[in-house]
């Protein structure tokens, strides 16, 4: 009967809800049992799972409401019965796909895609493509959201190292790929945006204001530190994560993952060299080389096998990647187009269209 159909649909959707949250509990309890709260909330915020829960709640509520109307002797429509049956079938098919999603969430690399998409979304919102990119409060809000996501990404990398397989390597490659996407669009973020946090800067006597120099000389005290925007804070977080990952991979017996990781680092340094000074990027290349060599020195390996030679080759190429990116950045500058933009805009707005640091 009509009432029996509604009762079955309501019961089945309730069972699916219970199974979904049981699967979430199994994922959190096995892979992320020692993870931070932000990762656990990230599992609950998985896009397909969250949409499926809302859909099941709607179907359950609809079935209960129709069952209540049937209790008041309301005659059901044939289309209503057909709609409830179709929704029940859709919930069954979607649950079969949701099981695959639960198994995919056991891999931190798959879960990190959600964080990486949010990171790039915050960066785009702070650029000139965002709807409120001129509002300082929105700029600050997007930066804080990116800082929280970077902490979550660091926790996911830590969780990936404790799992078996190549999850940590794939996660590091995904991370460096998203970092390159940000570097390609960084020039669209205004230099005066609050997306860039302030960092202390040592004051120089010959560049400081006269009254500051006079006050410091009269009181025999050093000049107070100044502040400047930190234009590289975002990519530096990715570089530190990649450096830590390189040190972890260098301590393993199999050096093939380290060689693949260093290839990704080389591509990241090319993208970094396009938008930064050559000395800055070369310094990061040297830090990677020193970190890997230090780990090799602690291993005290007697000879140079194929793995060590492959890693040494890629470490030697890192400074070359940095300079290739710098040269490519110089070749990408078009002085004629740049001159037209500066003439067409007021000088106060022209800097919004220029790179934060032109090589």
Of the candidate ranges 216-230, 250-264, 328-342, the one whose mean pLDDT is the lowest: 328-342
pLDDT band with cut points at 50, 70 and 90 for residue 359: very low
Distant-in-sequence contacts of 218-227, Cβ < 8 A, 24+ apart: 225/200, 225/201, 226/200, 226/201, 226/202, 227/198, 227/199, 227/200, 227/201
Average pLDDT, the chain: 78
125-152 tens-digit pLDDT? 988 888 888 888 999 999 999 998 888 8
At which residue do the structure tokens 């040190």 appear? Answer: 247
**What is the C-alpha to C-alpha distance for residues 14 and 6, in angstroms, rounded to an integer?**
12
Residue 142's pLDDT is 92
**What is the C-alpha to C-alpha distance for residues 349 and 135, in angstroms, rounded to an integer?**
14
* Pick from 266, 272, 258, 240: nearest CA to 319: 266
**What is the C-alpha to C-alpha distance for residues 277 and 320, in angstroms, rounded to an integer?**
14
* Nearby residues of 150 by Cβ (< 8 Å), 6 or more positions away: 119, 237
Residue 143's pLDDT is 92
Distant-in-sequence contacts of 198-205, Cβ < 8 A, 24+ apart: 198/227, 198/228, 198/229, 198/230, 199/227, 199/228, 199/229, 199/230, 199/233, 200/225, 200/226, 200/227, 201/225, 201/226, 201/227, 201/228, 202/226
The answer to whether the CB of 298 falls within 8 A of the CB of 346 is no
Interior CA angle at 27 toward 23 and 31, to 5°?
Answer: 165
Of the candidate ranges 47-61, 169-183, 331-345, the one whose mean pLDDT is the lowest: 331-345
Tokens coding 58: 């709607």
Residue 161: CB atoms within 10 Å: 15
Three-state secondary structure call for residue 173: helix
Provide the terminal-to-terminal Cα distance of the chain, rounded to the nearest Å. 76
Rg of the Cα atoms in the chain = 28
Q: Biggest alpha carbon distance in the chain? A: 96
Question: pLDDT: is 26 or 299 the higher one?
Answer: 26
Give the CA distances from residue 345 to residues 131, 164, 280, 335, in Å, rounded to whole numbers and listed in that order. 20, 55, 31, 16
Helix H or strand E encompassing 229? strand 226-229
**What is the C-alpha to C-alpha distance for residues 308 and 343, in angstroms, rounded to an integer?**
54
203-237 tens-digit pLDDT? 776 667 777 778 877 888 877 777 888 888 998 99
Residues shown for the chain: 359
Task: Name the DSSP class of 192.
Answer: T
When pLDDT is averaged across residues 25-46 and rounded to a whole number, the result is 67
**What is the C-alpha to C-alpha distance for residues 133 and 193, in angstroms, rounded to an integer?**
8
When pLDDT is averaged across residues 241-268 and rounded to a whole number, the result is 85
The answer to whether the CB of 105 falls within 8 A of the CB of 174 is no
């Amino acid at each position: 009967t009509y009432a029996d159909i509604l009762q079955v649909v309501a019961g089945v959707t309730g069972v699916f809800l219970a199974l979904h949250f049981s699967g979430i509990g199994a994922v959190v309890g096995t892979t992320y049992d020692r993870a931070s709260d932000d990762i656990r909330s990230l599992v609950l915020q998985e896009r397909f799972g969250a949409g499926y829960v809302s859909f099941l709640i709607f179907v359950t509520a609809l079935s209960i409401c129709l069952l209540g109307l049937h209790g008041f002797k309301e005659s059901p429509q044939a289309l209503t019965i057909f709609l409830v049956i179709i929704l029940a079938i859709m919930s069954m098919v979607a649950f079969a796909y949701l099981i695959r999603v639960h198994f995919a969430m056991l891999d931190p690399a798959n879960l990190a895609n959600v964080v990486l998409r949010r990171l790039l979304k915050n960066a785009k919102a702070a650029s000139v493509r965002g709807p409120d990119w001129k509002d300082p409060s929105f700029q600050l809000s997007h930066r804080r959201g990116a800082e929280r996501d970077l902490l979550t990404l660091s926790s996911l990398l830590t969780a990936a190292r404790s799992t078996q397989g190549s999850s940590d390597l794939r996660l590091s490659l995904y991370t460096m790929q998203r970092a390159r996407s940000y570097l390609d669009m960084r020039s669209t973020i205004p230099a005066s945006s609050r997306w860039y946090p302030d960092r202390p800067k040592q004051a120089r006597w010959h560049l400081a204001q006269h009254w500051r120099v006079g006050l410091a000389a009269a009181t025999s005290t050093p000049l107070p530190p100044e502040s400047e925007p930190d234009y590289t804070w975002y990519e530096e977080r990715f570089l530190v994560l990649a450096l830590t990952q390189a040190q972890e991979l260098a301590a393993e017996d199999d050096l093939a993952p380290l060689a693949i990781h260093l290839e990704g680092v080389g591509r990241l340094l090319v993208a970094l060299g396009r938008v930064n000074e050559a000395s800055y990027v070369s310094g990061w290349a040297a830090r990677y080389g020193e970190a890997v060599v230090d780990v090799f020195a602690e291993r005290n390996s007697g000879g140079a096998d194929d793995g060590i030679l492959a890693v040494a080759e890629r470490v030697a190429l890192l400074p070359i990647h940095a300079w290739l990116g710098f040269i490519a950045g110089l070749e990408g500058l078009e002085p004629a187009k740049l001159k037209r933009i500066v003439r067409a805009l007021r000088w106060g707005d022209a800097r919004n269209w220029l790179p934060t640091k032109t090589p």
